[in-house]
Amino acid sequence: MTLLRKPLMMQDQISPMTKVLADYIAEAASRDLPQDVMAKAVDHVMDSVAAILSGSRLRAGELAIAYAAAQGAGESGAAAVLGTGLRAPVALAALVNGFSAHADETDDSHLGGRFHPGCAIVPAALAAAEANGSSGAEFLRAVVLGYDIGARAVMALDHARPDTAKHSSHSIGPLFGSAAAAASLYRLSPRQVRHALSYTVQQCSGVPFWQRDPDHIEKAFDFAGMGARNGVTAASLAAAGFTGIDDPFSGRHNYFSAFAEHAAPARLIEGLGDRFEIMNATTKKWCVGSPIQAMLDAVEILIASDDPQVAAIESVTITMPDDRIHIVDNRQMPATCAQHLVAIALIDRFVTFASSHDVDRMADPKVLALRQKITLLPSAGLTAAKPARQAIVEIVMADGRHLRHHASAVRGTPDNPMSAAELRGKAGELITPVIGARTDALLDALAGLARARSIAPIIELATQS
């Protein structure tokens, strides 16, 4: 009989940077955070839960829910699929809720990390927290940690402009953020964290051809579902005793040698504990693509100040950053088409969730006639401008007036944050069609997360029996 023996293997040398990172993640669940950071986390969790619930009724969410049911999700399972009565294994629940969270362009974003954090990190943290009976405070700390690690994992790669990068930051950031959040909620030891990060690096992927997705279905996977599922998988494998490489960030082959364009490893831990990246994240006022936010801000201000009537508009010129124009220029999906949404804003005098998702209006003769008068211009100057994502809207009227507004600080960004009332109003508009009369109770429960003994009341309110 042959006995299996554990092979003798040389242990990795663990770099000081990796030790700092693993220790920080392992201690996150019990680390007190500043009050303003916890409050910002509540805002982003509320925004993300609203995105999950509204997205569960959009095509990407519906497909993911049907997929979960076909995979055996039902009345039992470790974690809930929000907006439904289904429960599923943790990784599957994270995948499905991630699909719903980025079923459209409702969710938050992080400019420095060039990713959408909430749509992946919050689903991963919800699934892991529910499975592990975590408190509301532990859940919020894990979410904050996810934003910190997800953003830094991308920044440390020093990728080129988003229109020339070879790897997709929108897939990498969510993966690392989800893995860190789940590792915290699984209460992994520093060594287990390093092994979870090794499985994270092995799953690292993403090619930015998501820009060609006309249906926002694969994009929902790329931006959210994949990262949430894979991050939870990495942490749960380590929690179950799976071992891995002790330091995936150093040695002959490592994360940076595989994915970096100009590696900046120090950025992975730079400012940990002092600079909280959730404070640099953006919530969207408008449920549309990020590059469109500034132009809708500008149109809203011009309507209020000059009241341009559609029949008298001769031309509309929108100047925007040249590195993002390809994302929103005459796209097929209403929520990502700049010309369509500006036309809707001028005709309706506002843009709602419903109007930004109304596919039929893409063929409305009145909308199409106004779209013919709208021109997008790329600007290298606006690409370099600070704060980022600026836009200039100019309207020439038949009476000779030349209306112009330069939106320099987008509503919802750290430079121009949304108020608590605006955030709650947006969340309520998205949630009510799904759970009806329970909406206020859910919003109240989300607001009180820092004091909650568990997240169970939120799950109960956000699911359907």
Tens digits of residue pLDDT in 428-459: 999 999 999 999 999 999 999 999 999 999 99
- Residue 23 in any domain: the answer is yes
pLDDT tops 50 at residue 8: no
Confidence of residue 365 (pLDDT cuts 50, 70, 90): very high
Confidence of residue 465 (pLDDT cuts 50, 70, 90): low
- Provide the pLDDT for residue 3: 45
310 and 235 co-located in one domain:
no
262 and 376 co-located in one domain:
no
- Residue 362 in any domain: the answer is yes
Tokens of 439: 């909406």
Phi-psi label, residue 221: left if phi above 0, alpha if psi -120 to 50, beta otherwise: alpha
**Short-list 462, 226, 211, 216, CA closest to 357:** 216
Angstrom distances, CA of residue 321 to CA of 329, 387, 390: 12, 12, 7
255 and 298 co-located in one domain:
no
109-157 residue pLDDT tens: 999 999 999 999 999 999 999 999 999 999 999 999 999 999 999 999 9
pLDDT tops 80 at residue 71: yes
SS3 label, residue 403: strand
Share of the chain above pLDDT 70, in %: 97
Compute the Cα dihedral for 246, 249, 255, 258 and give only its sign: negative
Confidence of residue 7 (pLDDT cuts 50, 70, 90): very low
pLDDT tops 90 at residue 11: no
Q: What is the mean pLDDT of residues 294-322?
A: 97
CA distance 360 to 461: 33
Phi-psi label, residue 84: left if phi above 0, alpha if psi -120 to 50, beta otherwise: beta
- Provide the pLDDT for residue 204: 97
Q: What is the mean pLDDT of residues 203-231?
A: 94
Q: Which long-range contacts (CB under 8 A, 24 or more apart) does 425-428 make?
A: 426/47, 426/50, 426/283, 426/285, 426/287, 427/46, 427/47, 427/49, 427/50
Helix (H) or strand (E) holding 36: helix 35-55
- Residue 337 in any domain: the answer is yes
69 and 164 co-located in one domain:
yes
- Residue 119 in any domain: the answer is yes
pLDDT tops 50 at residue 91: yes
- Provide the pLDDT for residue 207: 92
- Provide the pLDDT for residue 164: 72
CA distance 357 to 353: 6
Helix and strand tally (H, E) in the chain? 20, 8
414-431 residue pLDDT tens: 999 999 999 999 999 999
- Provide the pLDDT for residue 1: 41
CA distance 236 to 409: 40
Q: What is the mean pLDDT of residues 375-395?
A: 96
Q: Of all residues in the chain, what percent are helix, strand and coil, respectively (each to 5)?
A: 55, 10, 35
359 and 376 co-located in one domain:
yes
20 and 142 co-located in one domain:
yes
Q: Residue 335 — φ and ψ, nearest 5°?
A: -75, -5
Confidence of residue 261 (pLDDT cuts 50, 70, 90): confident
- Its domain, for residue 73, covers 16-283+445-461
SS3 label, residue 14: coil
pLDDT tops 90 at residue 214: no
- Provide the pLDDT for residue 12: 60
Q: How far is CA 62 from the centre of its chain?
A: 19
Q: Which of 37-41, 240-244, 257-261 has the lowest mean pLDDT?
A: 257-261
- Residue 116 in any domain: the answer is yes
Confidence of residue 312 (pLDDT cuts 50, 70, 90): very high
279 and 371 co-located in one domain:
no
275 and 351 co-located in one domain:
no
- Residue 211 in any domain: the answer is yes
Count of the separate structural domains present in the chain: 2
- Rounded to the nearest integer, the mean pLDDT of the chain is 95
pLDDT tops 90 at residue 166: no
203 and 64 co-located in one domain:
yes
Q: What is the mean pLDDT of residues 375-403?
A: 96
Q: What is the mean pLDDT of residues 222-250?
A: 98
pLDDT tops 80 at residue 293: yes
Q: Identify the CATH number of the domain in which residue 351 sits.
A: 3.30.1330.120
SS3 label, residue 293: helix
